[in-house]
Every structure is written in C-alpha cells, then in structure tokens.
Amino acid sequence: MLQFQFASIFFLFSLSLFGGVCGQEYLEDLNLEKIQLFQDKIDTRFIELRTNFKKYNESEIHKHSLEIVMALDKFYKLLGLESKIVQLNSREALEIFPSSSNKLVNKLKEKFEVKSIYVSVYEMLEMYSNGAYSVAQSSLTINPSAAVDLALELKPRTLFHEYRHAYFNSLRNQGVLNSYNRLDVRAVTGVPLHSENIYSRSYSSEEVYTLASDVYWEARNLLKTGNKKKYYSSLKNSANFARKIMSATAEMIDLQKSFIKDFENKNVIRSFNTFIISDKDFAIDFYAPEVAKLHDGKRPYIKQLKNELQSYYTKLESICARNIEDYAKLERSIGSYETQADLEKIFQESSRLKRKLYLDGMTSIKEKASLLQRALNFFN
C-alpha cells in the first residue's frame, strides 16, 4: 500500500460534488479516515446519479460527471500519482497512468495487455455499469469508488472483474481456448436470452468464471478489512450474480437448442478466428480457430462449426450444473453469517469454488492429471 507522510501533507482540497445540496467539502491533513469519507461521498453521488439517470438532462449529467472526474484527478495528484483528464468517446474521463508508487497499475498494463485505465463517469452512468473492458481499445473503465481503491492498491473487485476479461482476451490472442473465453450472445430483437435479470440482452461466457471470482475477492476484502459497511452488500450481490449467471447460462443453452438444430439455415460470417452466427432473434459470436483453418483452406466447415458449438454448449452447461447448487448454498451462508468464524468459512468456500471452476473450465484433462500428480508428490 502507498506509504503516506501524514505529518508533511497539508492542503486545501475542495469539491463541489453535490452542487447546491452540500456545497463545498474540505479535506485537510490527508489520512485514511478522510480518504474513506471522500470515497463514500463520490460513491453516494455516483449511485444517486445512476439511479436517477433518466431524471437528469444531458447537460446536468455531463456537469456532475465532470465534477467527479475533476475531484478524482485532484485526489490522484495529491497522492503523487499520475492522471490526466482526457476525452473518451466524446466525454471527459480520467486516465490513470503507471507510477513507480503504484505497482498494481503497472502489473495490469504489463502483464494483461491493458493499454489504458479510465474513469469515465458518464459512460458508466449511461451503461448502468460499474466497469467495462474494451477489446478494441484494450482498455479498462472503472467506477469512481474503484478508482480510489486502486490509488490505495486495495485491489477493487470492479477492476479485477474487468482485468479478467482482459486476461481472457489475451488468451484468445495467444490461441489458447478454455470453457469461458469462446462465446458471446446478443438478443437482436426483443426476445430475451433467458429469464434472469442479469445479462438478458447481451451475454458472455466469460462471466461464469468472472462473477464467481468476484465472490472470492469480496469475501477476501471483507475478511481482510473487517469493513462490513463497505463490502458486505457487494459480497451478497456478487454471490447472487454468480448463481444467476449459471442459471441464465443453462436456460439460454436450452432455449438455443432449436437454434443449433436449424444451424444450416443461419447467417454465418467470419471475423478472424470468430464466427458470427445469427438469425432474426439472436447473434452468436463463437471463437473457433480450428474451424477457421478449414475456412482458410476453402474446405467445408459448417458441419464442424455446428459440432464444435454443440460440444462447447454441452461442456459449459455441465460446468454450471455442477456448481450452481454450491453457489446457492454459499449465497445463503452469506445472507445469514454473524461471526468471524462464519466469514472465514465463507472465504474458504469461495476460494474452493473458484479453484473448482478453474479446474473445470480452464484446464485440459492432461493438465488436470499433471496438477494432481504435483499435489501427490507434494504430500508424499
């Protein structure tokens, strides 16, 4: 974590985040308690704006978004971290740069092929989101509260959620396949992909592992800090989302069986190693480099593409079926936990399930055998 020289930092830091509602806020003699107050205020403001987004006109949203971005820019500079207000998709955003005093930013950019990290308040409000990863720009966009955590190297869940999408993309770029990095589905018309109230219009198989990992990180943060006010609600929501995405996946695959059955009559377009399969209701982006080789050689490929997609759906459906009840139990445990011992059990279980999902979907049979042998050698 950043080392603060509390005695030597004196400043006047003014914010006008709440317009005429709260007026000016002043923070003096920077310390972690006042940073928490700052974070709470911008988070409250961000949530209020997002909740009531449709009640504001565009100029009001722009004004309030810019105020938060400017406040964060001042905050970063006061900590000696590099940031700059830039234009992102025609909106002001804060770009966060690598810094010798923030190893987490450096790691994200170097190891996971992330070119840029932004805080785009307007974009997050417009998308009703806490974060996003752009494949085209190789960039992460995070919410204001996560930006504060990032400055303190507290490993915010939102950031790690989006970096996992970056990681899956880097694997695709290396030609590495797994059960989570091959499928995106979009609803073309008003027909939802499934009945759950999560990703019902646009779905990515990456979310199965990513949302499950969020549970682990929130449990870890709560156990490490003891800050129930900050992390407990997020932990409950994460467990709920992890269970729902597995239910949604199973339902979506079941609904699309007829889609695959009539596969030969679908529109199929290739984009590099991804095939876009669509009809009037759905569009599927399926990453299939081996099928792309058949297409390159001008050989028949539709049957192979259909078989590979069916096989992939079977595998993904099986992973969700094996894990959904465990996440339902974990969700109930989180909802009723009272003691530190309860929390430790929740963390241990979230860690176990995260490892299980990794083994289920990101390792081959050969790799699993190698991991098992290494474990046996360790204990013998």
- What's the confidence (pLDDT) of residue 106? 78
Describe the strand order of the beta sheet including 267-271 as a list of residue ranges: 202-204, 183-187, 282-287, 274-278, 267-271
Q: Which residue spans within the chain are E strands per DSSP?
A: 13-15, 25-27, 83-88, 91-96, 116-119, 131-134, 139-142, 183-187, 202-204, 267-271, 274-278, 282-287
pLDDT tens string 241-277:
999 999 999 999 998 888 888 888 899 999 999 999 9
Question: For residue 166, is pLDDT > 90?
Answer: no
- Give the Cα separation of 74 and 83 in Å (integer): 9
What's the chain's average pLDDT?
A: 84
According to the model, what pLDDT value does residue 86 have?
95
> Which whole number is the average pLDDT over 124-149?
87
CA-angle at 178, arms to 174 and 181, nearest 5°: 75
- The sign of the torsion formed by the CA atoms of 321, 323, 324, 326 equals positive
10 has a pLDDT exceeding 60: no
Task: Give the model's pLDDT for residue 120.
Answer: 92
Per-residue pLDDT, averaged over 79-83, amounts to: 88
What is the arithmetic mean of pLDDT over 284-310? 94
CB contact at 8 A, 214 and 238: yes
pLDDT of residue 155 exceeding 80, the answer is no
Q: How far apart are CA 207 and CA 180, in angstroms?
A: 8
Amino acid at 217: W
How much is the pLDDT for 18?
A: 38
| pLDDT > 70? residue 373 | no
For 20-33, the pLDDT digits (tens) are 322 234 345 667 77
| pLDDT range class, residue 309, cuts 50, 70, 90 | very high
Contacts of 336 (CB under 8 A, 6+ apart): 342
Write the pLDDT tens digit of every residue in 311-355: 999 999 999 999 999 999 999 999 999 999 999 999 999 999 999
Please say if the pLDDT value at position 48 is more than 80.
yes
pLDDT score recorded for residue 28: 53
Q: How far apart are CA 48 and CA 67, in angstroms?
A: 14
